[in-house]
Structure 1
Amino acid sequence: MHNKWVYLFILSLIWGSSFILIKKGLVGLTDYQLGSLRIVLTSLFLFSVGFKSIKQIQKKHWFWIAVSGFVSSFFPPFLFAMAQNHIDSGVASILNSLTPLATVIVGIFMFRILSTKRQIVGVFIGLAGTVLLILAGVEFNNNQNYLYSSLIIIATIGYALNVNIIKKHLTDISALAVTTGNFLFIFLPALVVLFYTGFFETILQSREMQISAIYVGILSLFGTAIAKVLFNKMIQISSPVFASSVTYTMPIVAVLWGVFDGEQFGILQIVAAAIILFGVYLSNRRAEKK
């Protein structure tokens, strides 16, 4: 089935661009405002198109829908916004590439989902390519506070949990139902956080906040609402490791954004991109018969 490669390409493009949108959003908004506004806007988008799909969700699904929502869609937007106040958006996208490794580890130890040796090798090759990409771009990132990278690592563990939860417990309902159900649980907590940040009191007075809010709106519609549905669908039609491999290809898009912004893209970055894609290919290989 080649559809998963189409999903991988589209998601790489959308999520690879999301880090620059977060960076633009943080110009006029605080990290808590950005994280909560992103969730609230995404919820409104999803409720408008996905509300009818909720009837697919049965009693046995609701617990896993809730857990999936918090670990993948509530905490990560705050963690990424907090981290990107201190580290570069390109670094954030590269650190996000730890997700496939976390997916394998979480799958083995918590969900008894076995990965083949080939898949695990693919994960480590992809990680090697990611390290090379970091080294190739280190001249742009030598003033970053890497202590905040731990927040992104925590987010990748949340993503890994989500991938395995969907594959283990939620493949019998549509991706739209899963995503809309996720945001049913996290909408109100996010709205409460947004209210207490003073967002509604100051947005009308600040032109800078309004421009940043537009960037967050774009991020919410494409980077969260549409992308989450596509990603959940990709999990259902592929393996957890392949689905999480989108985080390998995202840094390539992030680097390309840098090229458009006047940064240099050399031979070493091209080599790193090729290694990353080879890792994705190996992660996608069919499970060997036991």
Structure 2
Amino acid sequence: MIILFYLLMCFIFGTTFLAIKIGVDAGIPPFFGAGVRFFSAGILLFLFMRWKEKVSLKILFRKELFFTGVGLTFGTFATLYWAEQYVSSGVAAVLSATGPMMILIISTILLKQKTSFTSTIGCIIGLAGVIVLILPSISLNVHFLWIMGCLAIVLGEVFYASGTIYTKRVKEKIIASPLVLNAVQMMYGGLLLLLLSLITEKVQPLTLVHTASIGSLIYLIIIGSMIGHSLYYWLVTKTDPVFPSTWLYISPLIAVGLGVTFYHEEMTWYTGIGAVTILLGTILVNYSALQSLLWKKTLFPKRVK
């Protein structure tokens, strides 16, 4: 069951990038689409947990979850949704895999934490992959907004990394189900995205009634956010935080394949080399944790007493 749910989670996360692209191309304003997705998913999950009597309304007023929502949802997805107006879903997925590298950089430079040689090399390789992905396009006179979109996604991963580091402290302060914590931070992040949309975007009602628009929103709310993230947190409780996070190595490849096959996105040698380099760097950044995971679960499984 664990392997089945893991593969399902990887597939879902891999498809969300294309679903975002379809919705944006259909005319849904990016900040509005992201806001509707996360606020709806968050409030539905929260109401479900409230119905199960597993959460108190007091948790809605915890400022820690507001700051978590700023990092994990608002900053991460405001940049991603905006960027997918100009960047293919495959490139967006590959650049999103730089999240662990940003965590390493922030932990090392700002928090003064020691890091291994392998992780440092992985970070350098991963960032080199980003340059391989973007730099040739600059010399080929690619549209300026394409470059800005790529840089926006990388900036979004800085938000993601900051939110992830901060979340570790939040879990020590707030005793609650991971599903509840995720639901509340999604509500806060979604609300901030809707406020940003109100200030910067003009929503055309006709664009929201297209089949592509409706399908994209429903898929991202139910499948992407509610089911995908629930599977992730279920796997965290049943295994450990490292194993579920390895979706970062699989989902970008799924996203690239889906984009090329079903949405006719362009796949160049630069994209392929950059993607492989970034994923290699991501693996090396997490090498110690992955080695520990494989050592415990594969080489020396626990004996049943």
State the TM-score, normalized to the length of structure 1: 0.73
Query: What CA distance in whole angstroms lies between the structure 2 residues aligned with 1:126 and 1:9?
Result: 24
The within-5 A match list for 1:157-176 is: 157-170=158-171, 173-176=176-179
Query: What CA distance in whole angstroms lies between the structure 1 residues aligned with 2:232 and 2:159?
Result: 15
CA contact (8 A) 1:36 1:191 kept: yes
Q: Give 2:301's aligned residue.
A: none
Q: Give 2:288's aligned residue.
A: 285
Task: Determine what percentage of the aligned residue pairs are the same residue.
Answer: 20
Query: What CA distance in whole angstroms lies between the structure 1 residues aligned with 2:194 and 2:265?
Result: 38
Give CA-to-partner distance per residue, 1:253-278, whole Å, 9 cap, x none: 12211342356889994996598368
Matched, 1:22 2:20: yes
Tell me how far 1:157 sits from its aligned partner: 0.6
Q: Give 2:34's aligned residue.
A: 35
Q: Give 1:153's aligned residue.
A: 154
The answer for unaligned runs of 5 or more in structure 1 is: none
Q: Give 1:182's aligned residue.
A: 185
Aligned with 1:54: secondary structure?
A: coil
Query: What CA distance in whole angstroms lies between the structure 2 residues aligned with 1:109 and 1:223?
Result: 33
Cα distance change on mapping 1:80 and 1:259 into 2, 3 Å: closer
Name the amino acid aligned to 2:17: F
CA contact (8 A) 1:93 1:251 kept: yes
Tell me how far 1:158 sits from its aligned partner: 0.9
Query: What CA distance in whole angstroms lies between the structure 2 residues aligned with 1:183 and 1:14?
Result: 18
CA contact (8 A) 1:123 1:280 kept: no
Q: Give 1:79's aligned residue.
A: 79
| RMSD over aligned Cα atoms | 4.3
Name the amino acid aligned to 1:150: L
Query: What CA distance in whole angstroms lies between the structure 1 residues aligned with 2:46 and 2:126?
Result: 36
The answer for unaligned runs of 5 or more in structure 2 is: 292-305
CA contact (8 A) 1:100 1:244 kept: no
Tell me how far 1:70 sits from its aligned partner: 1.2
Cα distance change on mapping 1:184 and 1:251 into 2, 3 Å: closer
CA contact (8 A) 1:86 1:144 kept: no
Aligned with 1:87: secondary structure?
A: coil
CA contact (8 A) 2:122 2:280 kept: no
Q: Give 2:294's aligned residue.
A: none
Query: What CA distance in whole angstroms lies between the structure 1 residues aligned with 2:231 and 2:213?
Result: 25
Number of residue-to-residue matches in the alignment: 280
The within-5 A match list for 1:185-204 is: 185-192=188-195, 197=201, 199=203, 202-203=204-205
Cα distance change on mapping 1:207 and 1:86 into 2, 3 Å: closer
Cα distance change on mapping 1:154 and 1:243 into 2, 3 Å: farther
Query: What CA distance in whole angstroms lies between the structure 1 residues aligned with 2:151 and 2:197?
Result: 24
CA contact (8 A) 2:178 2:233 kept: yes
Matched, 1:13 2:2: no
Name the amino acid aligned to 1:14: I
